[in-house]
């Protein structure tokens, strides 16, 4: 497809408190597309207009709002697609994937519009057998039946392989087009560059849903390093941003007697304030598809301790990365101790080298060019 002068719709189930790397990446892509004469439109859920970034962003970008529940937004999508006649509809996250396909089929536009699903989310099976059976049906419908004429971009090889497996099971072939394009980092957000990386004793982690982020492992590891609660020794301190159930996880561990070394802090738009709190970033997740946080920490010149999961192995070989065994707090405690024993000068050089590598791989310009090349192959 010749991309010049095309009409492109970005549609995402996104109404986070901050624009973050996600929207900043799309804005950069929009600039590149505008230079090629393209018209770009964003479709977001109604809830997005309640966010502090929306008012300013709507001055520079064209937003249309639809029902917060994608399944109830089909009538609005019909009207929008009839009106603008898009050439490409690019969905992000999975909420609008199927509704977009259904609407285009209903309008008889499926063969005229290229649909691209951007696969961000980790997909896995629930342990409960009944729920697992329901998931199998859901995956076959979503990534099989409704994806027949869809192209897809996975943010990691893991998520691309997983979804393509279901596509093959239903359709007997791969997605129309399939590529792995890791996420990009808006480096302008990161002004804190730690010039003197030392093997300090303070650790930062980002909370979320604990079933995925596993901050309980970091807390358990810190307890062990701080004497198991049997002494007043505070060898390490941890800072954890408040996520969905962070307070509950901490309360379950300590009750009302939260130790002085354990700090829950609010998430904030200025990520530099968070990086300035600690010496080392920890990702103890059981599941990730990329992890913006790990990449941002390395750009800020921080060493990273991370679980050995597939979704973040892209950073595993970098010289300032320390791996621990997934789900094992003893392994995490040992890795934290190994990090603290690092030679400061060697660690500083390792952090600078990791920063150089990740800036080259995950900058916005490189990401935009990969997406545009993908469009041109449609």
Top pLDDT among 130 and 286 is at: 286
CA distance 33 to 220: 48
Using alpha carbons only, what angle is made at residue 45 by residues 177 and 30, rounded to the nearest 5 degrees? 50
CA distance 122 to 252: 27
In CATH, what number is assigned to the domain containing residue 58?
3.40.50.2000
Tell me what pLDDT residue 123 has. 67
Question: Half-sphere exposure (CA, 13 Å, Cβ side) for 179?
Answer: 16
Tell me what pLDDT residue 229 has. 61
Q: What's the total number of domains in the chain?
A: 2
Q: Are residues 63 and 171 in the same domain?
A: yes
Q: Is position 356 within any domain? A: yes
Q: Is position 112 within any domain? A: yes
Q: Is the pLDDT of residue 197 over 60?
A: no
For the segment 21-29, the average pLDDT, to the nearest whole number, is: 95
DSSP H helical ranges for the chain: 20-34, 54-60, 74-84, 97-107, 129-143, 157-171, 210-213, 215-225, 246-254, 271-275, 292-299, 329-340, 344-362, 364-376
Q: Are residues 191 and 146 in the same domain?
A: no
Tell me what pLDDT residue 280 has. 95
Band of residue 233 on the pLDDT scale cut at 50, 70, 90? low
Task: Give 49-102 pLDDT, tens digit per residue.
Answer: 999 999 999 999 999 999 999 999 999 999 999 999 999 999 999 999 999 999
Q: Is position 125 within any domain? A: yes
Task: Give 325-357 pLDDT, tens digit per residue.
Answer: 999 999 999 999 999 999 999 999 999 999 999
Tell me what pLDDT residue 126 has. 59
CA distance 241 to 249: 12
Band of residue 131 on the pLDDT scale cut at 50, 70, 90? confident
Q: Is the pLDDT of residue 275 over 60?
A: yes
Share of the chain above pLDDT 70, in %: 94
Q: Are residues 197 and 89 in the same domain?
A: no
Bridge partner list, 238 = 203, 262
> What DSSP string describes 314-327?
GGTTSTTEEEE-TT
Q: Are residues 161 and 202 in the same domain?
A: no
Band of residue 237 on the pLDDT scale cut at 50, 70, 90? very high
Q: Are residues 335 and 370 in the same domain?
A: no
Q: Is position 2 within any domain? A: no
Q: Is the pLDDT of residue 124 over 70?
A: no
Q: Are residues 369 and 356 in the same domain?
A: no
Q: Are residues 152 and 226 in the same domain?
A: no
Contact by Cβ (8 Å): 166, 273: no
CA distance 300 to 351: 9
Q: Is the pLDDT of residue 188 over 90?
A: no
Enclosing domain of residue 130 = 7-184+363-376
SS3 of residue 50 by DSSP = helix
Q: Are residues 174 and 142 in the same domain?
A: yes
Q: Are residues 177 and 207 in the same domain?
A: no
Q: Is position 299 within any domain? A: yes
Q: Are residues 213 and 152 in the same domain?
A: no
Q: Are residues 286 and 302 in the same domain?
A: yes
Q: Is position 300 within any domain? A: yes
Band of residue 187 on the pLDDT scale cut at 50, 70, 90? confident
Tell me what pLDDT residue 135 has. 84
Tell me what pLDDT residue 158 has. 85
Q: Are residues 162 and 65 in the same domain?
A: yes
Q: Is position 1 within any domain? A: no
Average pLDDT, the chain: 92
């Amino acid at each position: 497809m010749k991309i010049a002068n095309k009409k492109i719709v970005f549609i995402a189930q996104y109404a986070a408190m901050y624009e973050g790397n996600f929207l900043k990446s799309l804005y950069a892509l929009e600039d590149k597309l505008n230079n090629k004469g393209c018209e770009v439109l964003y479709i977001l859920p109604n809830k997005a207009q309640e966010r502090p970034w929306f008012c300013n962003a709507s001055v520079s970008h064209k937003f249309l709002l639809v029902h917060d529940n994608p399944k109830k937004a089909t009538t609005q999508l019909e009207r929008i697609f009839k009106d603008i006649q898009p050439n490409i509809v690019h969905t992000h996250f999975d909420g609008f994937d199927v509704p977009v396909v259904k609407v285009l089929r209903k309008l008889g536009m499926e063969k005229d519009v290229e649909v691209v699903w951007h696969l961000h989310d980790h997909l896995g099976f629930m342990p409960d057998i009944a729920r697992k059976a329901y998931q199998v049906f859901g995956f076959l419908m979503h990534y099989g039946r409704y994806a027949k004429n869809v192209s897809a971009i996975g943010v990691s090889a893991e998520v691309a392989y997983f979804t393509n497996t279901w596509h093959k099971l239903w359709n007997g072939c791969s997605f129309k087009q399939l590529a792995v394009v890791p996420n990009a980092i808006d480096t302008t957000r990161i002004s804190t560059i730690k010039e003197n990386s030392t093997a300090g004793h303070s650790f930062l982690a980002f909370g979320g849903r604990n079933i995925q982020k596993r901050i309980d492992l970091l807390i358990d590891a810190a307890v062990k390093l701080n004497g198991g609660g049997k002494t007043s020794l505070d060898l390490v301190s941890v800072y954890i941003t408040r996520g969905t159930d962070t307070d509950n996880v901490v309360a379950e561990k300590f009750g009302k007697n939260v130790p002085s070394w354990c700090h829950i802090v609010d998430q904030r738009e200025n990520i530099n304030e968070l990086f300035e709190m600690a010496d080392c970033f920890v990702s103890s997740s059981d599941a990730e598809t990329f992890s913006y946080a790990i990449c941002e920490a390395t750009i800020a010149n921080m060493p990273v301790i991370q679980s050995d999961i597939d979704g973040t192995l892209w950073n595993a070989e970098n010289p300032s990365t320390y791996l621990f065994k997934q789900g094992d707090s003893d392994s995490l405690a040992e890795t934290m101790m190994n990090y603290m024993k690092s030679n400061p000068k060697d660690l500083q050089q390792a952090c600078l080298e990791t920063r150089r590598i990740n800036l080259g791989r995950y900058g916005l310009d490189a990401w935009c060019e990969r997406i545009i090349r993908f469009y041109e192959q449609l």
